[in-house]
Amino acid sequence: MKEFLVRKIKRMIIKIYMAYSKLFEKTFNSEKCDLKYLLFKKKKTKKLLVIFSAYPGEGQKARYNYVVKFRNLRTSRLYILDDFGPKEKGAYYLGANKEFYIEKAVHDLIEKVRTDLQVDKDNVVTCGSSKGGYAAIYFENKYNYGASISGAPQILLGDYLYIDKHQPLLEFIMGGVTEKNRLELNDKMLETIAQKKGKSKISILVSTLDGMYEDHVQKLSVFAQKNNIHVDVSIKDYKKHSDIGLYFPKYAINEFNSYFNQ
């Protein structure tokens, strides 16, 4: 009973804090889309943590993740909302019909914030779980940022969105549900990781019981080994994919601090 009350109080606090945070929501206007975001600046530090959101649950709207959990980190924090795609629940921060205008807007926003705060690229860390984990790894490697911290990410996105219930999103992003589009979207992440100019710094938390482990993380590890790319995978014994949010914040905080203390 006591644990139930504690969890209920924590959820209430998070809801109140999130409602308060929304008061600070801003909009970044790009040529083809507008991005909603939160920016919490931290004085006397030249670090930037960029947090991408997971796909919301059934009946939920797109929302920011880990706003409360990361509040004490000594870094500026940029939270970017992904409210595009079917039912405005997210499009993996990419775009529509193979036109990746959301990706471009996200990169432009990160660069604007980074430049305004005078943060070196090596001091930008991207972060997120599930869908947000995909985006974290993708943007770190595509745009040569310092590191990414990811929880149970999808890697072979074409395979994942080829599953029947996810196909509307595959059609939105790629313009059609075809084998060619599935393979093309799979290659998008792997080619991005392979082309990074500097060394990748990919850290992943996942459970062996999570479908993302066998279908995505293990396959990334094989690809990374063949291409001499270092990927650090930590195992946590949770039972289902939706549980990653319970364990990821502590892991992400530790990885973030370790990156800057190395």
pLDDT digits (tens, 9 = 90+) for 78-94: 999 999 999 999 999 99
Query: What does the angle CA 35 – CA 41 – CA 46 come to, to the nearest 5 degrees?
Result: 110
Average pLDDT over every residue of 197-205: 94
pLDDT at 102: 99
Selection from 86, 153, 99, 101 nearest residue 126 by Cα? 153
**What backbone phi and psi angles, to 5 degrees, belong to 211?**
-55, -25
Q: Where are the beta strands (DSSP E) in the chain?
A: 26-29, 34-40, 48-52, 76-80, 124-129, 147-151, 202-206, 231-235
pLDDT at 210: 95
Q: Is residue 2's pLDDT more than 90? A: no
Terminal Cα-to-Cα distance of the chain (whole angstroms): 43
Paired tokens of 8:
């209920």
* Integer CA distances (angstroms), 118 to 24, 25, 38, in order: 22, 22, 18
Query: What does the angle CA 249 – CA 132 – CA 28 come to, to the nearest 5 degrees?
Result: 110
pLDDT digits (tens, 9 = 90+) for 19-43: 767 788 999 999 999 999 999 999 9
Task: State pTM to two decimals.
Answer: 0.93
- Residue 44 contacts by C-beta under 8 Å, 6 or more apart in sequence? none
Say which CATH topology domain 2-261 has. Answer: Rossmann fold (3.40.50)
Give residue 169's identity as a one-letter amino acid code. L
Distance between CA atoms of residues 221 and 230, nearest Å: 8
- Lowest-confidence region among 10-14, 102-106, 253-257: 10-14
- According to DSSP, residue 55 is labeled P
Listed by start position, the domains of the chain span 2-261
